Amino acid sequence: MRSLGKVGALVAALALLTVSACGDDDDDGGGGDSGGGGGKIAFLLPETKTTRYEEQDRPNFERRVKELCADCELIYSNADQDPAKQQQQAEAAITQGAKVIVISAVDVKSAAAIVQRAKQSDVKVIAYGRLIPDADLDYYVSIDPFKVGQQQAEVQMKAVDADSPKVVMINGAPTDSNAKPYKDGAADVLKKEGAQIVKSFDTPDWSPDKAQQQMESSVTDLGKGGFDAVYVANDGMAGGAIAALKGAQIEPATRFVTGQDAELAGIQRILSGEQLMTVYQPIIQIAETAAELAVPIAQGEDPPAGLAKDKVDNGQEQVPSVLLDTIAITKDNIQDTVVKDGFLDAADICKGAYAAACQEAGVK
């Protein structure tokens, strides 16, 4: 649950959407007129606890924008998991003259107000990663979250050597539109495989600390032998769950912990055997595709025909969408995926204690 202070702040932000908000400390390029066919693009990300946003999404989006339009101006902000702050950042971007907002919403329900406000100023909106329901979106760029949940559970169930395995589920934040389909996709496979879900948690803010607490409480309630596997929706929370298992003197490799995002720490845990798998979202491609949609809009043109070939129903309309494929990552395909694609550098993965495991797995 969010604090009353945050709820109050959100209400205040919603009431002040038509008023210019104060400047943002994370703004990389507000103010001033762009020339030479450029335009202003706002890129609003939700949080920093998940390392991908600052380490992958932001730099790859910025790079692709500059490749396509050297004169385009980027207005960047990160909301630090605060929906009221994101409302203010969106209003500031509109005031500064953004022609398009690319947004990964902190709270997808409240973000509909951002879309509405943008439309009042004739600003286009691209939902990035997280679908905003019941809103007049122009485009949506993401992956299929139900399929991701299925991929996680399929790899896990193949690894578990137990009849009717007992599974603890540590799911994502309920404010994220992808969290429920991740959970539903995993539960679909678990049910088909005859697994029992003995505990299930929705984790505010995708917090690794909260995930660790949830895992600790599960061990206390169920006992060390009361569960066979731990489904975790992303790598950050997997780190928290694994810390709890180790604290309880349970070998993490025996509980087949899942993850997502192919974070550096997650890949290293897979190599060491502490984490079973992760799901590799093509984040570079997601960021580049969003930039390829945003730049023409900022320049007053239409995006390339056929780029957004999919349609996704957000409750209000069929949103033109780009849905990219995801890959289940285990120790066996790290080299051929995240390393080969340049998503992670083998030199970073294979530092120190991970050097021998990298050599064994063919990561170089």
- Please name which of 190, 240, 175, 234 lies closest in space to residue 214, comparing C-alpha atoms: 240
Pairing of strands 124-128, 100-103: parallel
pLDDT of residue 33: 38
Q: Kindly tell me the burial class for residue 350, based on how many C-beta atoms sit within 10 Å of its own C-beta (0-12, 13-18, 19 or more).
A: buried
Q: What are the DSSP E strand ranges found in the chain?
A: 40-45, 73-78, 100-103, 124-128, 139-143, 166-171, 196-202, 229-232, 278-280, 310-313, 318-324, 327-329
Distance separating alpha carbons of residues 200 and 208, to the nearest angstrom: 15
Q: State the sign of the Cα–Cα–Cα–Cα dihedral 252, 342, 56, 338.
A: negative
- Give residue 37's pLDDT: 76
Q: Pull the structure tokens for residue 189.
A: 């496979």
Neighbouring C-alpha atoms within 13 Å toward the C-beta of 265: 15
**Over the stretch 223-238, which tens digit does the pLDDT of each residue have?**
999 999 999 999 999 9
Closest CA to 60 of 74, 47, 71, 50: 74
Q: Sketch the domain layout of the chain as residue ranges.
A: 4-143+282-324, 145-281+327-361
pLDDT in tens, 3-35: 334 444 444 444 444 433 333 444 443 333 333
Could you say which residues of the chain have pLDDT below 50? 1-36
Domain 145-281+327-361 falls under CATH 1.10.490.10: no
Distance CA 51, CA 359 (A): 26
CB 293 within 8 A of CB 319: no
- The answer to whether 333 touches 274, Cβ cutoff 8 Å, is no
Cα 294 to chain centroid, rounded: 19
Q: Domain 4-143+282-324, CATH 3.40.50.2300 — does that match?
A: yes
